[in-house]
Structure 1
Amino acid sequence: MKSHFTFTKQQRSGIFLLVALIVAVQCVYFFVDFSTEEIESDSRRIAQFRAEIDSLRQVKLINSQPKIYPFNPNYITDYKGYKLGMSNEEIDRLHAFRTTNKWVNSAEEFQRVTKVSDTLLSEISPYFKFPEWVTNPKPKSTYSNSFSADSKPKTFAQKQDLNTASAAQLKRVYGIGEKLSERIVAYRTKYGEFVADAQLQDVYGLSPEVLDRVLNDFTVKTAKPIVKININTATIEQLVTIKYIDYEVANEIIEQRTLREGFKSLDELTKVKDFPVKKSEIIKLYLTIDK
């Protein structure tokens, strides 16, 4: 033990110097202020970085939330309505309204149908996107000869003869422009006078609505007589002379006539294979059902 605590003079001086140095360092650390403006400046920069990181986290959180894109409220599905915050009853009311072939055309009408709250409506209505014809309806042009369902149909005497009408007269009908009016006159010139109003269906470009408006003002008054063919005695050669009936259809008509032991009405022709049903009104003009 004595060997561990016996020091030479030089060793004792070194130990004393080491202890003095330790005490001096402790005193300096305790009494001297090491804070500087540079450290404070770094602290402010760190605070700015932290604030920027927090703001970026907030932006990321907002972007991670589901986005609502413009949509037509008439096509809201159960899942879409749930995501928007609608209840099952509100969604069912909208679906029941749509099953009646009616459309929601405004935010107010949407609320009236679904009975959603004002708060929810204010949140989702800015995203409603309705068709262009609803948001920006075009002003309706007025025509003196326009035909509507409420107007009283003209009598036969009040109508003009379709076989003598000019293109200028036909053009006065709402929906008949210059091309359609000229097309009607060209058809009449090429195939001869109209024998019945149904032949207007052959004119290309005439929609059913426009056709009704034309026939409200025009009808066939002067027409050459039609030589009708008895469907129950006609031969294939006679049937193919009728427009829209070719040899295959004529042969099918003969076979059906044999199986049925004669047609009872011309409407039975629509059941014949490959029969041009859309042109049946025109074909019937040239047929009779006499037995």
Structure 2
Amino acid sequence: MKSHFMFSKEQRNGIFLLILFIIGLQCIYFFVDFSSEDISVDKETLAQFNKEMDSLRIVKLEERKPKIYPFNPNFITDYKGASLGMSNKEIDRLLIYGEQNNWINSTKQFQEITKISDSLLDQISPYFKFPEWVSNPDRVSKNHPVDNFSEQAQARWRGGNFNNKPKTFAQKQDLNKATAQQLQKINGIGVVFSERIIKFRNKFVGGFIDDVQLQDVYGLTPEIIERITNNFTVKTPRQIKRININNATLNNLVTIQHIDYDLAYNIIEQRQLREGYKSLEELKKVKDFPVNKIDIIKLYLSLD
């Protein structure tokens, strides 16, 4: 082994020079920049490329913008107002004005009520569509008896019945067979709400059990639900087997809408303390029971 580690003076000098050479190469590699600064760029081609990219970007942004179709500004909902760029305060002013049975008949009046900015008004007002008896009263008076037409038109404009008489069960349309177009005739129901109602209805084979299930459709206010049920009702309810609340098991109860395992446990615990429920209204006293959903939950329950 000793022979492998013994070097002559010449050999040692050679090894030392080799190490210095390697260190020198490393220093050159790390500290000397060999890159060329003379990069040839075709500025005209680059400018043309950037221009095309900007054009494509603008087209893409325009495609992403929501399309606005003509609409009656009196029937703007929270969702519609937000999509148009209105603030919550501006939307609330419009809704409060409408709840007082007042109706906007011009662009100027719309701005006075909502207090929206001139710039936003300029963007959305071209899409305002008022009834013909409002926008062109002279033409209406020439083609129709003024008193008769305007009274009926205003009744339809305000979403009410001309004779103000509530419809009977026979006169109402079946909510389980209603189309989106039929629902959109209701004041406050647009494309979004009508499609949302039908999508929710189609979650269940057979559709709605009762009108009260409209409460579960996201975004529908009590006022809008009342307008719907003035014209529609469930005539062909989905057939279900009710669950006896006094002998239902935990697994039975969790199959019901708005009841999870914790609530089902509380219902059974309260049932044992009461030695059985005498009325479904007693469920309101169960811990964490969703009182506002009791009418929907009662659809699935019975006492016998």
- 137 and 153 in structure 1: CA distance in 2 versus 1, 3 angstrom threshold: closer
For the pair 1:245 / 2:211, whether they are aligned, the reply is: no
- Give every structure 1 segment of 4 or more consecutive aligned residues whose post-TM-superposition deviation is greater than 4 Å: none
1:211: how far off?
0.2
The equivalences for 1:119-268 within 5 A come to 138-139=104-105, 143=156, 146-147=159-160, 151-192=164-205, 193-268=207-282
Tell me if the contact between 1:143 and 1:174 (Cα under 8 Å) persists in the aligned partners: no
2:138 is matched with which residue?
A: none
- TM-score of the pair, normalised by structure 1: 0.50
One-letter amino acid of the structure 1 residue matched with residue 172 of structure 2: K
One-letter amino acid of the structure 1 residue matched with residue 176 of structure 2: N
One-letter amino acid of the structure 2 residue matched with residue 170 of structure 1: L
Task: Show CA shifts across 1:144-186 (max 9, x none).
Answer: 68237x9221111000000111000000011111111111111
- 158 and 137 in structure 1: CA distance in 2 versus 1, 3 angstrom threshold: closer
Structure 2 segments unaligned to the other structure (5+ residues): 1-96, 107-153
Q: What is the aligned-residue RMSD (CA, Å)?
A: 2.5
- Aligned equivalents of 1:159, 1:137: Cα separation in 2: 26
Tell me if the contact between 1:162 and 1:220 (Cα under 8 Å) persists in the aligned partners: yes
- Aligned equivalents of 2:284, 2:198: Cα separation in 1: 30
- 289 and 171 in structure 1: CA distance in 2 versus 1, 3 angstrom threshold: same
1:138: how far off?
2.8
One-letter amino acid of the structure 1 residue matched with residue 202 of structure 2: T
- Aligned equivalents of 1:249, 1:178: Cα separation in 2: 36
How many residues are aligned here? Answer: 157
Determine what percentage of the aligned residue pairs are the same residue: 57
- Aligned equivalents of 1:271, 1:177: Cα separation in 2: 38
1:272 is matched with which residue?
A: 286
Secondary structure of the corresponding residue to residue 215 of structure 1: helix
- 137 and 199 in structure 1: CA distance in 2 versus 1, 3 angstrom threshold: closer
1:190: how far off?
2.3
The equivalences for 1:108-127 within 5 A come to none
Secondary structure of the corresponding residue to residue 225 of structure 2: helix
Tell me if the contact between 1:145 and 1:172 (Cα under 8 Å) persists in the aligned partners: no
- Aligned equivalents of 2:257, 2:223: Cα separation in 1: 25
Secondary structure of the corresponding residue to residue 156 of structure 2: coil
- Aligned equivalents of 1:267, 1:196: Cα separation in 2: 18
- Aligned equivalents of 1:246, 1:253: Cα separation in 2: 11
- Aligned equivalents of 2:159, 2:252: Cα separation in 1: 42
2:301 is matched with which residue?
A: 287
- Aligned equivalents of 1:226, 1:259: Cα separation in 2: 29
Secondary structure of the corresponding residue to residue 191 of structure 1: coil
Structure 1 segments unaligned to the other structure (5+ residues): 1-130
1:222: how far off?
1.0
- 145 and 225 in structure 1: CA distance in 2 versus 1, 3 angstrom threshold: farther
Larger radius of gyration: 1
1:254: how far off?
0.6
- TM-score of the pair, normalised by structure 2: 0.48
